[in-house]
Amino acid sequence: MRDAGQIPFEFFAPEAPSFGNFVVGDNVEAVTLLTTLANAGTGNKLHAAYVIWGGPDVGKSHLLTAFTNRAHARGLSVMRLSADGAFPEDPFVDTNVLCVDDADRLSPEQQGFLFTAFNHIAQSGGCIVATGRSAPGLWPMRDDIRSRLGSGLALEILPIPQDGLAQALSHYAASRGFGVSQEVLAYLLKHAQRNLTSLCQTLAGIDRMSLAQKRAVTIPLLRAYLTQSPHRNGT
């Protein structure tokens, strides 16, 4: 077998989050609803608020980004904000959809912005899509904002259990059009970071590399990829 040599950085670059590269698992209903909402636009919305919630590393931000990009591609005006970023001074924003990541961690000033923006956007026929670590009724924020967010539809994103990772990754590879053996998956799970985002990025990268080099996805190819990966965990 020839050596993989220096692997170009492009094979390690993460793909932009989309509905297509999200590992759905037990979240078919939530992903289908978000996809439908993004495709249909706010004219067919049923609620003024949609909350994507769940524990760490379940893909909340991935889904919010996928929703944002799909809605924008369908011609909607979308504004994306995060608790870690700056908010506009004027809450009377001209947008169809306001997406707020980590909305359960908003500062008092950010909560004030969201309250006014929510009312303005809802009255204009738009909607809010937010993420958080728990159901919106439990968020530590002003009652008037929590009740508005809680009046909409809350979508819990369930994690992929550790004993279901191999099957989930196999399905993900199949959705990309390539097969991966159980031996390769076992090696990946033993030597790579065991969080779904990192594992999927590795499979996506090895898929692109195998196509470019016209080589099958094997343990030696995966080993070379992991050895040079900037995200390797050292195991």
Tell me if 129 is assigned to some domain: yes
Among the three residues 123, 140, 156, which one is the final residue of a domain in this structure? 156
Same domain for 122 and 205, yes or no, is no
**Domain around 57:** 28-156
The label of the residue with tokens 């591609």 reads 73
Same domain for 128 and 224, yes or no, is no
Same domain for 128 and 193, yes or no, is no
Same domain for 139 and 219, yes or no, is no
pLDDT for 155-209, tens place per residue?
999 999 988 999 999 998 998 888 899 999 999 999 988 888 889 889 988 898 8
- How many other CB atoms are found less than 10 A from the CB of residue 118? 23
Angle, CA 96 vertex, CA 94 and CA 100 arms, to 5°: 90
Q: What is the C-alpha to C-alpha distance for residues 23 and 175, in angstroms, rounded to an integer?
A: 10
Q: Which residues contact 183 (CB under 8 A, 6 or more apart)?
A: 219
Whether 88 has a pLDDT exceeding 90, the answer reads yes
Residue 31 is given by DSSP the state: H
Among the three residues 156, 190, 215, which one is the final residue of a domain in this structure? 156
Strand partners of residue 176: none
Tell me if 45 is assigned to some domain: yes
pLDDT at 147: 95
How much is the average pLDDT of 27-54?
87
What element of type H or E holds 227? helix 219-228
pLDDT level of residue 69 (50, 70, 90 thresholds): very high
Q: Which residues contact 198 (CB under 8 A, 6 or more apart)?
A: 192, 231
pLDDT level of residue 138 (50, 70, 90 thresholds): very high
Least confident interval from 1-5, 29-33, 129-133, 136-140: 1-5
Tally the domains of the chain: 2
| CATH code of 34's domain | 3.40.50.300
Least confident interval from 22-26, 80-84, 103-107, 132-136: 22-26
Same domain for 152 and 69, yes or no, is yes
Tell me if 76 is assigned to some domain: yes
